[in-house]
């Protein structure tokens, strides 16, 4: 998601996301860390896809993991280098074409693959993840299912306001396989005035029940669930894919 060509997570929205939307990483972290415990015990390498500003990365580093944190947004990576700069490496990686480092675990939260432009690109990314896993390696990520839009009827406009930022989001479903957020982002300048940026985010919705079959073709046994474990459930229509590479 390179600037300025990319529509996703330019500097202002990246900062607002970091400041106001860390709850998803907070909810997912306990389950992810439990899944990764065997990897930690053998000092395995973890690759995080779509690390954003480093919200989950921070949990992984604090738990003692060796981690390569990656994202496609330069603005997000700048924040991650400040927030979780003691990760082994933080660098740009654009799915589905950039090679994924060979790893003992590959994790991702925030339905990162759902931002890819077509279902075929999501499939290619899933295959790339499976191929990058070492024998016995773990994968854990979330994806937007077809039910994601069904769980959000009516699409009310939502707004959030803080002292230094605000965001207004309008949602729509132009087709059964696409979910759109149109966001107006406001940040306060040093002189007290406000600036605005607008981003349109499109997510591709897929039938997640077919993902285990695809991964099985590449040596990964996977399940689809509504959480990564623990008490926290993912949002309705957001499904967890957890799998292990055959030894």
Q: What is the pLDDT of residue 6?
A: 60
Chain-wide mean pLDDT for the chain? 95
Q: Is the pLDDT of residue 3 over 80?
A: no
**pLDDT exceeding 70 applies to what percent of the chain?**
97
Q: Return the top range by mean pLDDT from 1-5, 152-156, 163-167.
A: 163-167
Q: List pLDDT tens digits, range 7-55.
A: 699 999 999 999 999 999 999 999 999 999 999 999 999 999 999 999 9
What is the Cα–Cα distance from 170 to 182, expressed in whole angstroms?
5
Confidence grade of residue 1 (pLDDT, cut at 50, 70, 90)? very low
What is the Cα–Cα distance from 150 to 161, expressed in whole angstroms?
27
What is the Cα–Cα distance from 113 to 119, expressed in whole angstroms?
9
What tokens were used for 247?
């030894």
Q: Is the pLDDT of residue 174 over 70?
A: yes
Of 57, 89, 55, 51, which is closest to residue 73 (Cα–Cα)? 51
Q: Is the pLDDT of residue 172 over 80?
A: yes
| Cβ(135)–Cβ(247) below 8 Å | yes
Q: What is the pLDDT of residue 156?
A: 84
Q: Is the pLDDT of residue 143 over 50?
A: yes
Q: What is the pLDDT of residue 141?
A: 98
Q: What is the pLDDT of residue 182?
A: 96
**DSSP per-residue letters across 158-210:** EEEE-SSEEEEEEEEEEETTEEEEEEEEEEE-TTS-EEEEEEEEEEE-B-GGG
Confidence grade of residue 230 (pLDDT, cut at 50, 70, 90)? confident
Of 121, 113, 118, which is closest to residue 241 (Cα–Cα)? 113
Strands annotated E in 110-164: 133-144, 158-161
**DSSP per-residue letters across 23-83:** HHHHHHHHHHHHHHHHHHHTT-EEEESS-TTTHHHHHHHHTT-EEEEEES-HHHHHHHHHH
Q: Is the pLDDT of residue 138 over 60?
A: yes
Confidence grade of residue 154 (pLDDT, cut at 50, 70, 90)? confident
Q: List pLDDT tens digits, range 47-80.
A: 999 999 999 999 999 999 999 999 999 999 999 9
Could you give all domains of the chain from N- to C-terminal order, each with its CATH number?
11-146+206-245 (3.40.50.150), 148-204 (2.20.25.110)
């Amino acid at each position: 998601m390179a600037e300025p060509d990319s529509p996703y997570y330019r500097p202002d929205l990246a900062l607002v996301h970091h400041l106001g939307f860390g709850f998803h990483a907070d909810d997912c972290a306990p389950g992810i860390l439990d899944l990764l415990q065997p990897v930690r015990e053998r000092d395995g390498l973890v690759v995080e896809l779509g690390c954003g500003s480093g919200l989950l990365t921070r949990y992984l580093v604090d738990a003692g993991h060796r981690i390569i944190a990656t994202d496609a947004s330069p603005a997000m990576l700048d924040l991650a280098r400040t927030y979780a700069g003691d990760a082994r490496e933080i660098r740009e990686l654009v799915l589905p074409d950039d090679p994924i480092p060979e790893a003992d675990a590959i994790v991702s939260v925030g339905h990162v693959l759902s931002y890819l432009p077509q279902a075929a690109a999501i499939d290619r990314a899933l295959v790339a993840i499976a191929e990058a896993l070492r024998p016995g390696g773990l994968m854990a990520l979330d994806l937007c299912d077809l039910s994601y839009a069904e769980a959000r009827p009516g699409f009310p406009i939502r707004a959030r306001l803080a002292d230094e930022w605000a965001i207004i989001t309008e949602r729509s479903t132009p087709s059964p396989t696409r979910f759109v957020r149109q966001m107006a982002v406001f940040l306060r300048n040093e002189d007290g005035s406000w600036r605005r940026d607008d981003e349109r985010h499109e997510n591709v919705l897929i039938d997640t029940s077919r993902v285990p079959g695809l991964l099985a073709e590449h040596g990964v046994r996977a399940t689809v669930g509504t959480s990564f474990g623990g008490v926290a459930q993912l949002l309705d229509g957001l499904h967890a894919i957890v799998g292990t590479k055959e030894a």
